Chain A
């Protein structure tokens, strides 16, 4: 199957990228370093370690998605490897989907490794792992799938630097979308308010995937909520990948 062939190759190439290991090393350092902050808050160290470790999994996952994702299609065009691929009897969407699936598989592996390191560390420190911790990891991964879809879309239409800036901005703003709706009263009825409201509806609300606080405090999260967040992410991801395929359909390479 052509999508799988492209995905397998993308995975193989990304696994051999040195940037990946540098980022994983930093992620491990951040997870182990979280204990230092635990000392500051007496009796709270396990909570802090859980919270910061999950934050590290999220941030470093996003950095990998950005570094690899925004280069994904662009690099194929830049290095001209795409010529001998797109002249095959395949649909262009199969190429986009394959590139995406390869990176999604890589992120699954990376997230699993980082989460395993964090989980072992929590247990070694005497903490207890509950289902919410794993739900939090699942939703972090689901957020990475969405971010990666945006990165792949941008890599098909723009340069990696511009793409990285846009994806990173979306990640930051996506975690604080409420700022677009909770405006001071002087904004009422203005054009700016309408624009900001439109942005609110376009930008994914990434805080939907953030149940770190619950995981740190061992507060259960209803499975229904997790399923809803998964569906929310899947719709956004599908829309982004559809746009990426359409944008790439007639692109001159």
Chain B
């Protein structure tokens, strides 16, 4: 059984006066296996949030179906399995974190004792004890995101759907979220998240899907999608005489200088090894030898260009 599955999911927003209908999502068919960390990528307006909102039953699909843990998302009890963190989550400003979690626990159908246990579990996991009595009104972005995560985890759902969980966070906050996602993955959860921060996606996702103008153009394992061949090698050398440097430069595809030494760029791994050997034979020192592979960002840009 897939943790998440959609079949030909389409969403058309009705047009207003002077504006035509907008097809935000076009026949999206997607499957995510249990315990996968799936990165959902796309530019602003590509349809990521629309997909997430349909999965969480906030929007009705125009056509198509969506399932979570094998159950239709339109069914009420399906939502027991879903923990949702919206982009920039908003909570009642006049409640404190403890009251907030209690409220969501009650909506989830937990008893008073279960809610108290949930508070203990989540306050420890997300470090909420220090701010337990403070009203949400004065919270920073990072505190809100921590609370948002706690709210999503109330009731211990199997599937976590996170909309841009790292947007607007400082590097420390992003690291915290990354570590949390990996921890939850370790606990057997399925995590579906959308993001703009491709570096983060590359670090934690096992699979990704790329959405362009409402259509899924790619889905697959990162190591299969990315061209893992070495595209280029950067060699930094120091201590070369001018004639030796000129000879090495002649065999390279590009050269530049920095405080570290001379940077030679070679477009082929074997040729790069030969160049490195030349440098050593000429009495130079090898400071760095860096094979450069395609990053997710480069792949993403390539996808966007292909479609447009």
Contacts and interface: CB of A to CB of B under 8 A. Distances in A.
A80 B56 CA distance: 14
Nearest to B88: A80
Contact of A253 (B58, B88, B89): B58
A85 B86 contact: no
A82 B108 CA distance: 14
B299 interface: no
Contacts of B88: 80
A85 B57 CA distance: 11
Contacts of B106: 1-2, 4-5
B92 interface: yes
Contacts of B95: 9, 12
A251 to B, nearest CB: 9
A186 to B, nearest CB: 38
Contacts of A79: 90
Contacts of B94: 12-13, 16
B76 A81 contact: no
A5 B154 CA distance: 15
Contacts, number: 75
Contacts of A81: 90-92
B48 interface: no
Q: Per DSSP, are chain A's interface residues mostly helix, strand or loop, or mixed?
A: loop
B107 A85 contact: yes
A91 B77 CA distance: 10
Contact of B79 (A1, A13, A88, A252): A88
A87 B80 contact: no
A188 interface: no
B104 A84 contact: yes
A5 B92 CA distance: 13
B154 to A, nearest CB: 9
A86 interface: yes
13 contacts: A12-B94, A13-B94, A16-B94, A79-B90, A83-B53, A83-B58, A84-B151, A88-B104, A89-B76, A89-B108, A89-B109, A90-B76, A252-B53
Interface of A: 1-2, 4-6, 9, 12-13, 16, 79-91, 250, 252-253
Interface of B: 53, 56-60, 76-80, 82, 84, 86, 88-92, 94-95, 103-104, 106-109, 148, 151-152
Per CB-CB distance, the 8 closest pairs between chain A and chain B, nearest first, are A5-B106, A87-B56, A88-B107, A89-B79, A87-B84, A83-B86, A80-B90, A89-B80
